[in-house]
Structure 1
Amino acid sequence: MNIFVLTGAGISAASGLGTFRDKDGLWTHFDPMKLATPEAFARDPNEVHAFYNMRRRNLIEAEPNAAHHALARLEAGLGARGGRLFLCTQNIDDLHERAGSQQVTHMHGELLKARCVQCNAVTLWHEDLSIETPCLSCGCAGGLRPHVVWFGELPLFMDAIYDAMLDADLFVAIGTSGSVYPAAGFVSEARGHGIRTCEINLEPSDNARRFDERRYGPASEAIPAWVKDVLTA
C-alpha cells in the first residue's frame, strides 16, 4: 500500500510551534505581508530576519510529539510490507526528521537552512541571520535569507509531489487548514484520479467535505490511533 501524507501546522502544535490561521495563530499577531514576502525582505530585511530568528530559536527548543513519531513508524511499517509512505509537509520545521522519518519533502522549505540570493547556495543554519552574515559559499554579506517559501513564491518539488500522489492508494491530510494553495487542492486532485482520501485534523478544514473519511481530535492522539489501525489492518 502506498500512502501520501500531507502535514500542516496542526501536527506541530503539541510541540509548541504556533499554527498560522487559528484564532490565536501567528498571523493574528504578525502581519505576513510585512514578514513573509520577497517584497518585505527587500524593504526591511532586519525585521524579517528578527521574525525568523525568533522562530528558529523556538524550533531548536521544540521536540517532536507523538504524531511525528507515529508517522515515522508508519513509514517503517509500510516499507516492511513493500509499500511506501510519501511524507509531504507544508511545515518548515524538522520535527518529522527528528522523530525518525527518513524521507520528508518540504514543499515550503526549511527554517534550519539559509539560502543565498547571490549564488543560490543552500546551507544548514541553526544560528541567527542578519544582513551582515556572509554566505559560506560565495562570501557575500547581505544575501542570506531563510530557505522558506514566502507568499508569492512557488512551492518546491511540485513535480515529485504530483508524481507521488498519482502513485498513492490513499491521500491523507493532517493538521491542515485547507485554505493554502496549491496544497489545499491536493484532495481534489487525488479524488479526480480515484484515490481514496482522509482528513485527520483538530476540527474540519475549509475543504473537509472533499474527503471520504474524516477523523477529528488532537494530532498527538488521533495520528497514533490512525497509524495503529493502518498497520494492523
Structure 2
Amino acid sequence: MKKAVSILIILFVLAVNVITISALELSALNFQALETGVLSVEYQMQRKSNTRIMIENNGERHFYRLPYGAEKESFPLKQGNGEYTISILEHVSGNQYRPVVTEKLYVDAVDENKMYLGSVQEIKWNESMAPIMKAKELTKNLEADREKVEAIHQYIVQNIKYDYDIIPYLTSDYLPDIERIFETQKGICYDYASLFAAMLRSVGIPARMVKGYAPGIAEYHAWNEVLVDGEWSVIDTTMDAAFAAGGVAYDMIKNAEEFQKKIAI
C-alpha cells in the first residue's frame, strides 16, 4: 500500500464535480499522485484557449500551459513539502490572465527522489513508448546505476543529432515529444534533456531537467542533473553529442560550478 499523504485543501470555488468556465471545463483536480511530488490535473476544454496553471509555493511561481486536446497533465511540486496555491488562469488579452479557479493545498511526506522519477508535462513518458522500451533494452543486463546512466547517455550522444531546421518555427509554448525525438533522431537541447530524463526515470534513476546557462553557450540552454552514486551530477547530452561528432574528448560528468541553473524540473 502506498504511503498516505497529508493534504489540506481549501476550496475557493463551488464544490461541484464539474466547474465550467468560459473556455475551460475543468473535470477534476486529481491529487492522488502527491506522494511522488506530482500534481495531476484532469480537464476538458470546450474550445482552444490560452489557458495556464500557476503553482505557487513560498512566493515562487511556476506557470505551465494546459494544451487544448489533452485531458490530463502532470506538473512537479518542485518545492517538496509545504503549502501550495494552485490557480487556473484564463487568457484575457496580451499578457494578461485572470484566475478562474484557485485552491490551496498542503503536501506532506513527499519523497524528493520519487519526485524525479515520474512523468510530467515536460518529461512525458509511459512504458509503451519506443524510447522507454529502448531504455529497458539498453539496461537489462546492467546492475549499477552508473552503468545504466552511461548506457543511455551513450545511446543519445551517438544517435540524436541537433535539429537546426526547427529553430525558426519554435514558439514559447513548445514542448518536447520524446517519441518524435526518438523516431526522427534529432532535437534541440530541450529535447535532449527531456529524452535523457525520461529514459533514466523509466529505469528507476532520478533525473532532473535543468534550464539556464552553460559554458560556451550564449543562448538559454537545457541539460540534466542525475542522481549518480548518491550525488546529483551535471550531464549535458547536447554538448556531449557535439563533442562526439567533432571527435573531441569529454567527461560525462560536468563541473556544476560552470553551469548557471535557473529552473530544475
Using structure 1 for the length normalisation, give the TM-score. 0.27
Larger Rg: 1 or 2? 2
Using structure 2 for the length normalisation, give the TM-score. 0.24
Compare relative contact order (CA 8 Å, sep 6+) and give the higher one, 1 or 2.
1
- Greater percentage in helix: 1
- Greater percentage in strand: 2
